[in-house]
Structure 1
Amino acid sequence: MHQTVAKPSQQRFPPAVNIIALAGFSAALSTRALDPVLPHVAEDFSISITTAAGIAAGYALIYALIQPAIGAAADLFGKARLMTLCLALLGVASLLGALATSFPLLFASRILAGIASGGVFPVALGLTADLVAPDKRQVAIGRTLAGSMAGNLLGATASGIIGDFIGWRGVLAILGALGLIASFAVAAGFRGASVTHVPTTDLAALRKGYRTIFTNPNSRFCFPAVFVEGCCVFGLFPFIASFLFDLGETSLSIAGIVIAGFAVGGLFYTFTVSNFLPRLGVKGMMITGASLVGLQLAALAFGPGWKLQIGCMLLMGWGFYMIHGCLQVFASELSIEARATAMSLHSFFFFMGQTVGPIAYGFGLVHGGKQPTLLIAAALMVVLGFACAALLRQRPPADAATTS
């Protein structure tokens, strides 16, 4: 799957791609926002950090479960319209979380936020794929990822700082206001935008789209791969602050900065993908990326200081998006007419991994300890990179002939 990629100065994308990146940024602000402040959430509600980490698992679970419905709704009724409505719902859910008087109510608000966020990022990827030809798609998706990574970076960093000053409720209140503002901005920005594949209300075509997706052999490898990614990488995040607490570093700002290192690595990927892709090819990107992730997980297992952990997280983010970006392109080519459905299924498996991940890490930490748990995750990521390189092949979508 070697692609000839133009230099960054030669890339020309529709203006709507920048609007899509804004939507991804807005939704991503809340994705990791509570991770740095979980120790204070646990303290306020008199629960364990493992129980508090259930917020991340619950958010990821509902995000995953909603994906098949979200993808179908986007293909049927319009991606841009659905994305705008979900941004508004995300803002409302965050405001409700700020007002929660018990952990179950906070948990419920994060479930609602997961539903809303589930209608933004995967749909944004589908819109990007609609607007950009396959030979430029990985770089265009990189721009969409840049918006998401910037949101993750600002969300994790700012939430730690805000949490130190006005607490986790202040974090959610600010996120709620920003979500509502973003929904209005994106709605205005998409007014008059031209999208190649218009929505259809033909349910028969929708069923055909599912058949097309699963007929493609790549679906058998692409979806399980992102499940493993989500489990091994993002399952770690809810425990980073508690690992730092164990080292004597109790500042929420420091925890936010460490977690934000991952997003910095993701941004570095978006700036370098057009240079590394022609040199390494897709197979090389997947192997190199997964190996980088594995090495950083192994390094974190031995509890380095927080400054070194920032470097590890940066390299982990860079490596993760090397392999994940390739898997996203494979997913976008499973079908043309049901592309939003394919990308939502991709997110379903990815976030199911993020649901299982905190549970698996929690079990491993309790019964095996920190080092064995992280070293097992490291080995799984390295194996995953080589497996993806060996099993995934460039194949045209089965419905390519009917849409050409």
Structure 2
Amino acid sequence: MGRLQYILAFACFASSLFSRAIDPLVPLIARDLETAPERVALLSTAFALPFGLLQLAFGPIGDRVGREVVIRICMVAMTIGGLASAFAWGFGTLFTLRVVCGAASAGIFPATIALIGDRVALDQRQAVLSKMLAATISGTLFGAIGAGLLVDLVDWRGVFLIYTATSAVAAAALFAVLPAKQPHTDKPAAGVIEGFRSVLRNPRAKVCFIAVFLEGLAVFGLLPFVALLLEARGEGGPAIAGLVIAGFPLGGILYAAVAPRLVASLGTAGMMAGGGIVAGLSLLAVAFGLPWQGDAIAFIVLGIGFYTLHNSMQVQATELSAIHRGSAVAMHGSSFMTGQALGPVIYGPGFTTIGVFATLATSALVIAMVGIACAILLGSRAEATSASA
């Protein structure tokens, strides 16, 4: 793919800047728009909900009109939405624009994964996808950190203008480098529902979608409770919780840096099993109530283990259907987001009924078994396919 993979990675980074940008700005936006902070906090939901749901729409659209078209249009929509957000005159307007940005983001990363599935051979695909993953994680991480640092210099509206400028550069680069037409001619003849059914006829699809659902539930369900767990142990406030949680995306970036070597040394099955076991051991370490510095290290290792497994599952999703690849990736993303959404619903009652240690130990067992099961059910065939690619 040459320089195109770097342009796509930059587009993923730029679109992800907007996802967590609101979090550090809630008090300032609340005062400026004269509304309650609790309402402003809903701006994060306004982005996340359409991002999760509309992947199911953009997947089939990309199958029919081309991933390239979807990525370019969504990047433009993201840029326009970000620019308009900087000039929003009320909470309702800003809420609507966050929905627009979330919807646009839903068409960028999943379509990028499917596009890479179209263009990159299976034996090279995981290394390329790891770059997209690292760019997306970095955008999410720097989006929140940058907003907190920049707001004192340029106000919250200036933050949106800076992020919009980054998005505009990415959009211009996409129009310059990414062609508007698909390089392949295979297009699905069936309707959207039949496309989803076609993907599900592949027995490997059920394993993939259940696995990423359990991934999201077991790992991301913990994140909203980190501050509460630290506070209960007398381990500091939001700043310390932020440092601990930041270890997770940092681990993802570290994984991406060594992904090609891991693929070469461990193979697909080894990465699935190893990633699940490492993630499980990290959750178990958190269950023992370490000092916050120990939790921070555990979360870095958790990020490495989780993304080693998850990136392997992304590769599997691109192989479920060549014709309906966009639909397959969309179902993969939707399953993952559903697990993330239900995770806190499971963790909360778990902490109050069976306790913190038992809940985290159960989650550790779940993610470890997911990795081992995927290695057994998916790994051997993936190795064979990769070898023949």
TM over 0.5: yes
1:147-195 C-alpha deviation (Å, 9 max, x unpaired)? 2233233224323434677776665554344333422332223148x85
Match of 1:313 in 2: 299
1:21-58 C-alpha deviation (Å, 9 max, x unpaired)? 1121112223344456668889996566xx88766556
DSSP 3-state at the match of 2:321: coil
Match of 2:131 in 1: 143
Q: 1:187 to 1:250 in 2, by over 3 A?
A: farther
1:192-243 C-alpha deviation (Å, 9 max, x unpaired)? 8x8532574x643766643431111101110111111122222333444565
DSSP 3-state at the match of 1:80: helix
DSSP 3-state at the match of 1:324: helix
Provide the C-alpha distance between the structure 1 equivalents of 2:276 and 2:153, rounded to a whole number of angstroms.
Answer: 37
1:82 to 70, 77, 81: 70
Provide the C-alpha distance between the structure 2 equivalents of 1:251 and 1:283, rounded to a whole number of angstroms.
Answer: 38
Match of 2:270 in 1: 284
| Aligned residues of 2:269 and 2:380 also touching (Cα < 8 A) | no
| Aligned residues of 1:39 and 1:242 also touching (Cα < 8 A) | no
How far is 1:249 from its partner?
Answer: 4.0
2:145 to 149, 157, 162: 157
Match of 1:401 in 2: none
Matches within 5 A, 1:223-262: 223-240=209-226, 247=234, 249-250=236-237, 252=239, 256-262=242-248
Q: Does 1:73 align with 2:61?
A: yes
Q: 1:229 to 1:310 in 2, by over 3 A?
A: same
How far is 1:330 from its partner?
Answer: 1.2
Q: 1:112 to 1:228 in 2, by over 3 A?
A: farther
| Aligned residues of 1:160 and 1:255 also touching (Cα < 8 A) | no
Q: 1:20 to 1:224 in 2, by over 3 A?
A: same
How far is 1:286 from its partner?
Answer: 1.3
Q: Quick check: 116-125 or 34-43, which moved more? A: 34-43
**2:130 maps to amino acid:** G
Provide the C-alpha distance between the structure 1 equivalents of 2:274 and 2:200, rounded to a whole number of angstroms.
Answer: 28
Provide the C-alpha distance between the structure 1 equivalents of 2:283 and 2:257, rounded to a whole number of angstroms.
Answer: 23
Matches within 5 A, 1:170-209: 171-191=159-179, 195-198=182-185, 200=187, 203-204=189-190, 209=195
**2:277 maps to amino acid:** S
Q: Quick check: 212-221 or 28-37, which moved more? A: 28-37
Provide the C-alpha distance between the structure 2 equivalents of 1:160 and 1:23, rounded to a whole number of angstroms.
Answer: 22
Q: 1:57 to 1:229 in 2, by over 3 A?
A: farther
| Aligned residues of 2:273 and 2:368 also touching (Cα < 8 A) | yes
Q: 1:58 to 1:381 in 2, by over 3 A?
A: farther
**1:345 maps to amino acid:** M
Q: CA RMSD in A?
A: 3.6
Q: 1:68 to 1:263 in 2, by over 3 A?
A: same
Q: 1:177 to 1:365 in 2, by over 3 A?
A: farther
Residue identity (%): 36
**2:177 maps to amino acid:** G
Q: 1:341 to 1:100 in 2, by over 3 A?
A: farther
DSSP 3-state at the match of 1:152: helix
Q: 1:170 to 1:310 in 2, by over 3 A?
A: farther
Q: Does 1:294 align with 2:280?
A: yes
| Aligned residues of 1:130 and 1:195 also touching (Cα < 8 A) | no
Match of 1:390 in 2: 376
Which stretches in structure 1 are left out of the alignment for 5+ residues? 1-12, 397-403
2:360 to 374, 377, 380: 374
**1:142 maps to amino acid:** S
Provide the C-alpha distance between the structure 1 equivalents of 2:356 and 2:153, rounded to a whole number of angstroms.
Answer: 31
Provide the C-alpha distance between the structure 2 equivalents of 1:373 and 1:69, rounded to a whole number of angstroms.
Answer: 35
What count of residue pairs does the alignment treat as equivalent? Answer: 379
How far is 1:346 from its partner?
Answer: 0.9
Q: Quick check: 148-157 or 21-30, which moved more? A: 148-157
DSSP 3-state at the match of 1:218: helix
| Aligned residues of 1:197 and 1:337 also touching (Cα < 8 A) | no
Provide the C-alpha distance between the structure 2 equivalents of 1:330 and 1:86, rounded to a whole number of angstroms.
Answer: 25
Provide the C-alpha distance between the structure 2 equivalents of 1:34 and 1:186, rounded to a whole number of angstroms.
Answer: 26
Provide the C-alpha distance between the structure 1 equivalents of 2:35 and 2:153, rounded to a whole number of angstroms.
Answer: 19
How far is 1:112 from its partner?
Answer: 3.0
Provide the C-alpha distance between the structure 1 equivalents of 2:95 and 2:350, rounded to a whole number of angstroms.
Answer: 24
Match of 1:24 in 2: 12
The TM-score, its normalising length taken from structure 2, stands at 0.82
2:325 to 327, 339, 359: 339
Provide the C-alpha distance between the structure 2 equivalents of 1:65 and 1:28, rounded to a whole number of angstroms.
Answer: 17
Provide the C-alpha distance between the structure 2 equivalents of 1:243 and 1:41, rounded to a whole number of angstroms.
Answer: 28
Q: Quick check: 333-342 or 157-166, which moved more? A: 157-166
Provide the C-alpha distance between the structure 2 equivalents of 1:381 and 1:41, rounded to a whole number of angstroms.
Answer: 38
Provide the C-alpha distance between the structure 2 equivalents of 1:58 and 1:359, rounded to a whole number of angstroms.
Answer: 19
How far is 1:118 from its partner?
Answer: 0.7
**1:285 maps to amino acid:** M
Q: 1:47 to 1:243 in 2, by over 3 A?
A: farther
Provide the C-alpha distance between the structure 2 equivalents of 1:375 and 1:37, rounded to a whole number of angstroms.
Answer: 35
How far is 1:91 from its partner?
Answer: 3.5
DSSP 3-state at the match of 1:31: coil
Provide the C-alpha distance between the structure 2 equivalents of 1:105 and 1:239, rounded to a whole number of angstroms.
Answer: 31
Match of 2:249 in 1: 263
Provide the C-alpha distance between the structure 1 equivalents of 2:195 and 2:237, rounded to a whole number of angstroms.
Answer: 50
How far is 1:120 from its partner?
Answer: 0.6
The TM-score, its normalising length taken from structure 1, stands at 0.79
